[in-house]
């Protein structure tokens, strides 16, 4: 059953109030060190976004068919979602997880999607294997990109996170964790396949999805690296490649992070599109308030003969942790589109001048339950 295509502002404001009243008990780990057989947790975001560009839509990624700007002055479709996660601990070694998320999708509807569904077997405390639908650790925020409460900003920078539409893989992976000099390092390898439906209703099949991911942690430091390749049926040659490197430092009173990605794909006519993106983000905490700023950029490295996708974004925001497991965020983004580009805008009206600035204001509430 499909939900309504778009969230009305009145509905969103009602949900904002409801989010504040949510109990937080399920989001915290149980006091009993013995893990329960079943546990159910949830998360969600209720948001409104407004763009001053009326000739094109601001969207989070290219799987959203419309956004704010041309189609609607205010919309909740850019950020709003709700999710449930069921975890089962069958034995100390065998566990399973299913995550269900409803968000604005490529078919112009809100409908549930099984984002994770896998079984995990721990051969040792540091070596494990999984089989099923597995989230790809392509970015630092891959596991939390849909969990707004886990992100300091309104959303991960779109210049970086829109470059890979593939978020999950149906297959297997293995992870191994090592410990040395106070560091913890987790390396995982993955193999699988996945089909993604684009905004034109076309199924894009990715096969031979292979990835190597590494995360190094020590105290407030996290360093993450990823390499991924896959064969895509609408490319010639089919091989697409993705690599990323990121780091975050969060000692508590302040925080800073950055990430860099490079993506290589081909169209159906053997034309390579090589793109690069990065961001840096930082902020400070003053009690329950955390102001922050972000600078991000996306630029093409090859000339494909098409209108390039190039832009730089300056963002500033404020996060307020109003209650246990509830936050509110206010964020302003100013997109500087490339001089010969519409940037990441979609549904651009024919004849619209290229380049220029776009201002986006977002108000969100994130919650766990």
pLDDT in tens, 250-303: 999 999 999 999 999 998 889 999 999 999 999 999 999 999 999 999 999 999
Mean pLDDT of the 91-120 span = 96
Count of residues making up the chain:
369
**16: confidence class by pLDDT, cuts 50, 70, 90:** very low
pLDDT at 358: 98
Nearest to 292 by CA among 329, 325, 259: 329
- Percent of the chain clearing pLDDT 90 (strictly above): 87
Quick check: 293 and 280 in contact, CB under 8 A? Answer: no
How far apart are the two ends of the chain, measured CA to CA in Å?
Answer: 24
Higher pLDDT residue, 19 or 358? 358
Q: What is the pLDDT of residue 25?
A: 37
Residue 27, pLDDT above cutoff 90: no
pLDDT beyond 60 at 237: yes
Centroid of chain to Cα 213: 17
Q: Report pTM.
A: 0.87
Cis peptide before 20 (omega within 30 of 0): no
Which pLDDT value is given to residue 8?
A: 44
Whether the per-residue pLDDT at 18 is higher than 70: the answer is: no
Q: CA 194 to CA 205: how far, in whole Å? A: 6
pLDDT surpasses 70 at 28:
no
Beta carbons within 10 angstroms of residue 322's beta carbon: 13
| Mean pLDDT for the chain overall | 91
124 within 8 A of 278, measured Cβ to Cβ:
no
Domain 9-368 superfamily per CATH: Porin (2.40.160.10)
33: confidence class by pLDDT, cuts 50, 70, 90: low
Q: 109 vs 77, 81, 199, 302, CA distance in Å?
A: 9, 12, 11, 35
The Cα 257–Cα 259 span in angstroms is 7
For the cut 50, the answer to whether the pLDDT of residue 166 exceeds it is: yes
- Dump pLDDT digits (tens) for 312-328: 999 999 999 999 999 99
CB 105 within 8 A of CB 114: no
- Maximum CA extent, the chain: 63
Mean pLDDT (whole number) for 16-26 = 39
């Amino acid at each position: 059953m499909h939900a309504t295509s778009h969230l009305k502002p009145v509905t969103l404001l009602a949900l904002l109030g409801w989010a504040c009243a949510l109990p937080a008990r399920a989001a915290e780990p149980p006091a009993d060190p013995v893990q329960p057989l079943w546990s159910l947790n949830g998360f969600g975001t209720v948001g409104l976004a407004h763009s001053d560009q009326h000739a094109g839509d601001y969207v989070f990624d290219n799987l959203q068919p419309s956004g704010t700007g041309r189609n609607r002055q205010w919309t909740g479709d850019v950020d709003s979602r709700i999710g449930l996660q069921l975890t089962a601990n069958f034995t100390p070694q065998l566990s399973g997880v299913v995550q269900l998320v409803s968000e604005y999708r490529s078919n112009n509807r809100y409908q549930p999607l099984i984002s994770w569904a896998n079984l995990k077997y721990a051969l040792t405390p540091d070596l494990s294997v999984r089989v099923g639908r597995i989230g790809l650790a392509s970015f630092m925020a891959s596991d939390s990109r849909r969990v707004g409460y886990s992100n300091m900003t309104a959303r991960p920078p779109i210049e970086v996170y829109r470059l890979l539409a593939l978020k999950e893989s149906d297959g297997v992976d293995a992870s191994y964790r090592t410990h040395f000099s106070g560091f913890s390092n987790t390396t995982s390898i993955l193999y699988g396949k996945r089909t993604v439906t684009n905004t034109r209703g076309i199924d894009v099949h990715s096969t031979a999805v292979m990835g190597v991911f590494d995360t190094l942690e020590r105290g407030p430091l996290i360093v993450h690296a990823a390499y991924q390749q896959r064969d895509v049926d609408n490319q010639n040659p089919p091989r697409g490649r993705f690599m990323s490197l990121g780091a975050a430092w969060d000692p508590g009173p302040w925080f800073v992070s950055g990430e860099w990605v490079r993506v290589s794909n081909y169209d159906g006519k053997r034309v390579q599109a090589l793109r690069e993106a990065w961001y840096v983000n930082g902020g400070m905490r003053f009690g329950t308030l955390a102001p922050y700023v972000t600078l991000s950029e996306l630029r093409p490295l090859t000339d494909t003969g098409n209108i390039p996708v190039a832009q730089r974004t300056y963002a500033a925001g404020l996060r307020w942790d109003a209650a246990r497991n509830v936050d509110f965020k206010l964020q302003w983004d100013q997109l500087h589109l490339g001089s010969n580009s519409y940037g990441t805008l979609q549904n651009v009206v024919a004849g619209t001048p290229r380049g220029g600035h776009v201002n986006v204001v977002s108000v969100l509430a994130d919650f766990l339950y």
